[in-house]
Structure 1
Amino acid sequence: MAEAQTDTQNAEVESAEIWIPPPLGTKKNKMEELLKIYDNLIDFLNQDDCDEDLKKALDLALSGDVSVGISSKNYDTKPKYLQVMELRKEDLRRMECGITITGDTSSGKTSLVNKLVGQRLVTPKVLRATSKICRIRNSETYAIEVLDVDGKVLKEKTTFNTPRKINKKLDTYTDTRDSNAGMYYIDIYCPFTNLDVKGNVMLVDTPGIDGAKDINAMLMEFLPNAFGFIFIIDASKAGGVDEDKLLAILRSINQATYKMPCFETDDVLFVINKWNTLHFRASSKSDDSSEDEDERISEDEIVWNEILTKLKAVWPTLTQDQIFRLNLLSENTADDTEKEKIQFRRFAEVLSQLLKKTKNRKVKMHMSLLFDTICVIERGIESRIHVATADNENMVSALQDSHASLELLGKRCKEICVELDENIESSVDNLSKTLYDYLNSPQGKNEILNPSGEKPIKDCFFLVREVSLRFRKGVLQWIKGKDVVDEIEKIDRIAVEKFKELHLELERVQVSITGKELEKRTEALTLSAIILTIGLAPLHLDDILRNTKQRKIDAWYSTCVEYLTKEELRTIISNIFKDHFGQSITSIFETELPKGILSTMCTISYLSTEREKITNNLESSLRLRDSLYKIKGDIENVDL
C-alpha cells in the first residue's frame, strides 16, 4: 500500500473499511495472548507513523486527569497512556484473584486460612497484632516475600521446606521493630490443599476491624483491590455482629463498587465461627419456669435469627447460601463433627467457584480495556483519513460545529451533576418528612407496635425493651421499603437517561469527524445495585423510662419518636443515598464523559490546524489502520 498512487487512494480507503479477522490458531494461554496484545499495542504507538497528537488524544482518554485541558504543556517524557498500559500489563501478569478475609480481632481469620490451606501455616498470635496485609498465595512451594505499599520488594522471596519455618520467619516481620518500617504486604506462598483451584489466586488476611485507627484506614484502603470478601463473625460475642464496624466495611465496599469492575454484590461470604459453643451454653442455663416448654427457643436459633436480621439490614441482597456456620476452633477438618465437615466442604466448594469466576472476569475486563483503547486510536486514525479525502469547505464547517457542540456538552455535564444533586436533596427532604409523619401517625404507630406475625404489644413482657426493639425494627423496615427504593430508582433512571443523551451527542460528533460509525461496545450504563447499608444505633431507653413503667404503651412509643429527631432521620436517609450513588455520578459526569469530550476536542483541534499535513500523510494513516486492524483481530480471537 505504501507504493499506491494518489489517484487510487479513495479506492484503497473504501476497500480497507471491511475488516476480516484472521483464522483461529491453536489455543494459547489467555494471559499470554493478552500480554502479547498489550506489547503489540505499545509497539504500534511507538512507530514513526503514529503522530504525537494521536498519542495526546489517547492520553486524555485514558489518564482520568481532565483538569489540565488540551493546551497543557505538562506532557511527560513517559506519557500517561504508556504508564496506564504498563500498569495494566503488570496487573494482568499477576492474574491474581484476591478474596479478602476480614473480621474482628480473634474472630478466626487466621484459623480459616490454616483450614483452607490444610495445615497450621501461621498461628493467630503472629498476625493478631500486625498492621500489615498478609496475602496467602497459591503455590506448589513454601516461601515469603515482603513488599511496600507500592509493591516494591523489600525482602526478596525466601523459600522454606516446611510451613513451620514460615511461621518462625513471620514472627520477625510482624512485630513493631524499626527494621520493619515501610513493610505493607507480606506475601506467603503455599499449596491450597482444601481448595479446588489452580493458578495465581490468593486469600488476604487483614488486620482486625476493631484495631487502631491507622489499621482500620489501611483495611478500608485495601478493600477496593479485592475480587470478593469473606467476613468472619464470632457467634460467641453478643450476637456476633457489631453493626457499627460491619456497617463501615460494607458501606466502604458499596461506595467503591463503581471502581471495582471485577466485583459483584453476591461475591460476599459470611462465616459464623464458634457456633458449636452456643449449644453448650444453652444446655447449661437454668430453666425459666415462667416460659412454656413448647415456646422456649434454643440459644443457637436466637443468635442465628439475630445475625441474619442484622446482616440483611446492611446487605439486603444476602441469601442464606452465602452464610456458613463453621468451627474454626479446630484447624484440622479431621477433628470436626460430620455436620461441621459438611458445612466446611460446602464453604470450600462455594469459595473455589468464586475464585474461578473472578479469574475469568478479570480476563474479560482486560479485553474490554484493550478494546476501548483501540477504539480511541481508531477514531483518531479514521478522522485523519476522512479529513484527507473530504471536501475542504464542508470539513472546515463541520469541525467548527463539532467543536461548539463539545463545548456545550462539557457545560451540560456540570449542569447535570448539579441537577442530580438537587434531585437527591429533594428526595431526602421528602422521604425524611414522610417518615417523620408516619412515625407520628396512628397508622404508623399501630403497624410498628403490632407488626404482622408478632404477638400484640399489650401481651408482651418487658414493655420498655419490646417497644424500643419494635420501634427500631419498624424504622429500618420503612427505610428499606418501597418509598425509598422507588426514589433511588427514579434518580437512577434520570442519571442513565442523561448519560445516554450526552453520550449519543458525543458519538454524533465523533461520527461527523470520522465519516462513519465505528464499532463500539453495546453494554448499557447501569449504576450499582441498590444496597441499602443502613445504620441506626440501638435506642437505649431503659434509663430514660426506668421510672415510667406505669405509663401506657403510647407514652413509651412517644418517647421513642422524640428520641429520633427529624434531623437524625434526614441524616439516616441521606446516608442511604450517599451509599448508593457514592462517587458514581461524579465519575460519570465529571470524569468519564469529560475524558471523551476532551480527547475528541484534542483530535478536532489537530484536524483543524494540520489539514495539509494530514493530507500529505494519508498513506501513513492507511498503514496505521491496517496495523490496528490486526491487533483488533487478535483481541477478537482470544477464546473465553
Structure 2
Amino acid sequence: MAASNQGDTATRDLKENNTDASFQSRLSTPKTSPDQQITELGVIFETVEHMLRSPDYAEDLQEELDKAFHNYMAIFQAAKRDLLRNDCGIVVVGETSAGKTTLINQLVGKKLFETGNLPTTGTIIRIRDAEKMEIKCYTKDETLTKREEVQDEKKLKSNIARLTNISQSPKDFKDHYYVDVCLPVPILKGNVIIVDTPGIGEDDNLQNILLHFLPHAVSFVFVVNAKETGGIHENRLLKIFKTIMNNREKMPCFDPREILILTNQWDAIENDDPSSDEDEDGKVKKEDQHTRTWKLIQKKIEKAWCSFNIENVFRVSLAQVRKRIENFFTDEYKRFEAVLTKTIEKNENKRIEYYYRFLKHFIQNAERGTLARLNIVERSIEEQQEILFQNSKTIQELQSQCTQSRESLEKYKYKIIHSLTTKLHAYLHSRNGREQILNPPGTKQMCEIAYTSLQEEVKLRFKKGIEKWCKGQEATSIIKTADTHLRSKIKDIESKLHEIEISMTGKMTPDFTMADGALVLLTILILPFTLHYIIAISLMCLPISLPCLIGGYLAGVDYRGFRIDDAYNMFLSRVSLPSLNKSFEASFGKEYDEVIVRIFDKHLPNRIDSMLLTNEMLLKKYQIIKQKQGSYLRLGEKIRQIHEAIEKFERIIEFSSH
C-alpha cells in the first residue's frame, strides 16, 4: 500500500511539474549569452542520457522509443555532439589572392596570417577566441596531433606560417587537416569560430568542406577580387549555390539568404577610363570604371544566383581599411561588420532553439512509456482496459486518416501549381504586368536605354519581373494558403495523438509537436531559392537574337518601341503555360512533396507506431507493470529532474519571436 501511495504522489508531482504555459510566455529573465545557454542545454542532454542508460529503462521502453526515433541512441548522441562539440563557423571562402586572408586578419584584429598568392592546399584554419595564444593541429577525424602554446604574436605568426604554408611545412605536418589558432578575438564569442578554407581552385574538396561546416554556420562570406573582371565567376558561384540548396535539410541553422559577398580591391581599379553610352538623342554619357565594374558584378551575380539580395554585396578596399582611410569603400566595410555581427547573434540563437525543440520532442517520446505505466497502476483493471481499448481504436482511425490526408494533400498540390501558373501567365500577358516589368520604379526607362543594348536589357528585366512576382503578394498569398492548409491537416492529427497521450499518461502538457511550425518547413522561403530560380535558369538558356531586327542601326523612336515590344513578346512566347507549370512543379512541387514525405511517411507513422506499441504493452503486461512499479518510480524521479532542468533552462533564455 505504501508503494501505491508513493506512486500516486510521484505521478501527481509529475503531472503538476509538467503542466505549464507555452514556452514563449515563460521567458521573462534577461537574455544570457549563447555559451551559457549551450551549457544549460547540455545539462538537459546529460540528464536525459542518464535516464536512457539506467537499468530501469528496460527493453520494452527502449523498443517503444525506437519506434519514434529509429536507432534513437545514435540520433540522440549525434544531436548532443553537434550542440556541444560542433562549432558555429563564420565560413570564409574566396579565390586565391582575392583578399580572404586579409579579411581574416582584419576580423582578428592582428596581422597573423600570411597574405599573397601562395596556396594552403588541404589545410583548414579554425580561429577560436581564447584567453591565451596557442596552436592545435588535428587530423581529419579530429585526433589531436600537436599542441603549441606561444607567448608572443611574432612567434604565433611564425608557427602559423610553418604549419599552413604547404611550400614550407615539414613532411610530418602535411597530415594536419585542421590547424586551430587560439587567441583573444573580440568578434568571437562562445562556440563561434572563423573557418578559413583553402582558396577556390586550390582544393577540389571544397564542396565537402562546405557540407561539413555550413550545417551549423552562423555566416558564410564569399570574398572576390573586384579588379579581376568583376571578380565573380558565375560557374563557381552557381556550384556553391547548388551545394547549399541541395543540402538544406542538413543545414538546420544556416539561412542561404544571409550569404555575404565581399568584393575587394576597389582601390586597385583605375577609375580614369570612362566608356561611352548613348542616349536616345545620340548624346554620349560618361561612365567611370567603378560604375562599370559594379554593374558587371551585379549582372554576374544575377546570372549565377538570380535571387541574391544585392544589399549583401559589399564594395570594400581592405588595404584602405587597414590604413584607416575614410571613404565609401571603408564605410562599406563598416556596414559589412555590422551585418556580420547581427547575423552571428541571430543565427547562434537559432541553433540553440533548434536543438532545444529537438530535445523537447525527444523527451516527450522517451518519457511516455514510463508515465503511462505509472498512470495505469492508479486505475482498476476494468478502467485501464476500457481506456486502452479506446486508445487502440482511435490510433487505428488515425492511421486511416493519415492515409486519406496524404492522398488529399497530393491532389491539392496540383491545384496550387495550377493557380501559380495561371496567375503568373496572366500577369506576364497583362498590360500592367508588361509596364511594371519593362519600366519598374527607380530604374532608367526603356526608351532611355542604348539602342544596341535593348534586347539584353529586356531579357534582364523580364527575368527580374518574374523574380519580383514570385516574391510578391500574389504568389506568397497562394503559398501561404497551401502552407495553412497543410498545417491544418497536421494539427488535426497531432491534436488527436495528443489526446491519446494524455489518456495514456494522465499528464496535461503543451503539445510540443510539428503543428507549431518548429519542424514543418513549407514556407514562402522556397520561392526566392527554388521557384523563380528554376524559371530564370530556363530563361537564361533562351536565344536572344531576333533575325528580323539585325538589319541596321536605326535609332528612330517608333522602331525602338517596336524592338522593345518584339523582344518582350519573344520572351513571352517562350514562357508558355506548360513551361511555367513544369517550372512550378520542379520548384514548389518538389518542396511540397518533400514535406509530405517527411511528415506522412516518417514523422506521423513513427509517432503513431510508438504509441500503438506502448498501448499494446499496457494491455498485455498489466501484472508485470505492477510488479515493476518501483522501477518506474525511479524513472519517474529522473523525469522530474529532466523537467526541472528544462524549467531552469527556460528561465534563463530568450529566443527571438518568429
| CA displacement 1:63-116 (0-9 Å, x = unmatched) | 3x4xxxxxxxxxxxxxx4333343334334336221222345554333322222
- Give the count of matched residue pairs: 609
> Displacement, 1:613?
0.7
Could you say if the C-alpha distance between residues 630 and 481 of structure 1 is closer, same or farther in structure 2, counting changes exceeding 3 Å? closer
| CA displacement 1:19-41 (0-9 Å, x = unmatched) | 399xx9xx995544444443333
Aligned twin of 2:17: 19
Whole-Å Cα distance in 2 between the matches of residues 604 and 106 of structure 1? 64
- CA contact 2:258–2:343 (8 Å) conserved in 1: yes
Pick one of 109, 121, 135 that aligns with 1:143.
135
Letter in 2 for 1:591: K
- CA contact 2:221–2:260 (8 Å) conserved in 1: yes
Whole-Å Cα distance in 2 between the matches of residues 583 and 178 of structure 1? 47
> Displacement, 1:509?
1.6
Pick one of 528, 533, 536 that aligns with 1:532.
528
Could you say if the C-alpha distance between residues 579 and 155 of structure 1 is closer, same or farther in structure 2, counting changes exceeding 3 Å? farther
Correspondence 1:461 to 2:459 = no
- CA contact 2:163–2:173 (8 Å) conserved in 1: no
Pick one of 56, 60, 76 that aligns with 1:53.
60
Could you say if the C-alpha distance between residues 383 and 263 of structure 1 is closer, same or farther in structure 2, counting changes exceeding 3 Å? same
Pick one of 41, 45, 50 that aligns with 1:38.
45
Letter in 1 for 2:138: V
> Displacement, 1:614?
0.9
Whole-Å Cα distance in 2 between the matches of residues 286 and 369 of structure 1? 57
Correspondence 1:378 to 2:378 = no
Aligned twin of 2:160: 166
Whole-Å Cα distance in 2 between the matches of residues 428 and 142 of structure 1? 57
Letter in 1 for 2:528: L
Pick one of 616, 620, 645 that aligns with 1:634.
645
- CA contact 1:57–1:600 (8 Å) conserved in 2: yes
Pick one of 159, 176, 180 that aligns with 1:188.
180
Q: Secondary structure at the match of 1:389?
A: coil
Aligned twin of 1:153: 143
Ranges in structure 1 where 5+ consecutive residues have no aligned partner = 66-79
Letter in 2 for 1:589: F
Aligned twin of 1:514: 505
| CA displacement 1:548-599 (0-9 Å, x = unmatched) | 4578424444433345565554444344426865844433333233332222
Q: Secondary structure at the match of 1:231?
A: strand
Whole-Å Cα distance in 2 between the matches of residues 561 and 340 of structure 1? 40
TM-score normalised according to structure 2 size: 0.78
Could you say if the C-alpha distance between residues 576 and 301 of structure 1 is closer, same or farther in structure 2, counting changes exceeding 3 Å? farther
Whole-Å Cα distance in 2 between the matches of residues 121 and 418 of structure 1? 60
Whole-Å Cα distance in 2 between the matches of residues 220 and 546 of structure 1? 48
TM-score normalised according to structure 1 size: 0.80
Aligned twin of 2:72: 81
Whole-Å Cα distance in 1 between the matches of residues 506 and 53 of structure 2? 26
Aligned twin of 1:326: 316
Aligned twin of 2:550: 547
| CA displacement 1:379-412 (0-9 Å, x = unmatched) | 2222102222223234334323323433443454
Q: Secondary structure at the match of 1:135?
A: strand
Q: Secondary structure at the match of 1:518?
A: coil
Whole-Å Cα distance in 1 between the matches of residues 53 and 544 of structure 2? 70
- CA contact 1:532–1:576 (8 Å) conserved in 2: no
Whole-Å Cα distance in 1 between the matches of residues 122 and 396 of structure 2? 48
> Displacement, 1:611?
0.9
Letter in 1 for 2:634: R
Could you say if the C-alpha distance between residues 250 and 287 of structure 1 is closer, same or farther in structure 2, counting changes exceeding 3 Å? closer
Correspondence 1:505 to 2:479 = no
| CA displacement 1:196-244 (0-9 Å, x = unmatched) | 3334321223355678875335535643232322233443355555556
- CA contact 2:11–2:371 (8 Å) conserved in 1: no
Could you say if the C-alpha distance between residues 504 and 293 of structure 1 is closer, same or farther in structure 2, counting changes exceeding 3 Å? same
- CA contact 1:117–1:190 (8 Å) conserved in 2: no
Kindly report which structure 2 residues correspond to 1:402-481, keeping only aligned pairs within 5 A, or say none: 402-413=391-402, 415-436=404-425, 438-439=427-428, 444-445=433-434, 447-451=436-440, 454-457=444-447, 460-462=450-452, 463-481=454-472
Pick one of 221, 226, 234 that aligns with 2:217.
226
Q: Secondary structure at the match of 1:48?
A: coil
Q: Secondary structure at the match of 2:91?
A: strand
Correspondence 1:601 to 2:590 = no
- CA contact 1:256–1:582 (8 Å) conserved in 2: no
Q: Secondary structure at the match of 1:162?
A: helix
Whole-Å Cα distance in 1 between the matches of residues 593 and 203 of structure 2? 26
| CA displacement 1:311-335 (0-9 Å, x = unmatched) | 6895869483x443322356x7136
Whole-Å Cα distance in 2 between the matches of residues 413 and 542 of structure 1? 52
Whole-Å Cα distance in 2 between the matches of residues 341 and 120 of structure 1? 18
Aligned twin of 2:336: 347
> Displacement, 1:438?
5.0
Ranges in structure 2 where 5+ consecutive residues have no aligned partner = 20-28, 654-658
Pick one of 190, 200, 203 that aligns with 2:191.
200
> Displacement, 1:492?
1.2
- CA contact 2:93–2:222 (8 Å) conserved in 1: yes
Whole-Å Cα distance in 2 between the matches of residues 574 and 244 of structure 1? 25
Whole-Å Cα distance in 2 between the matches of residues 420 and 20 of structure 1? 34
Whole-Å Cα distance in 2 between the matches of residues 504 and 9 of structure 1? 28
- CA contact 1:103–1:208 (8 Å) conserved in 2: yes
- CA contact 1:258–1:583 (8 Å) conserved in 2: no
> Displacement, 1:132?
5.8
Whole-Å Cα distance in 1 between the matches of residues 49 and 43 of structure 2? 10
Whole-Å Cα distance in 2 between the matches of residues 497 and 219 of structure 1? 36
Could you say if the C-alpha distance between residues 379 and 317 of structure 1 is closer, same or farther in structure 2, counting changes exceeding 3 Å? farther
- CA contact 1:196–1:349 (8 Å) conserved in 2: no
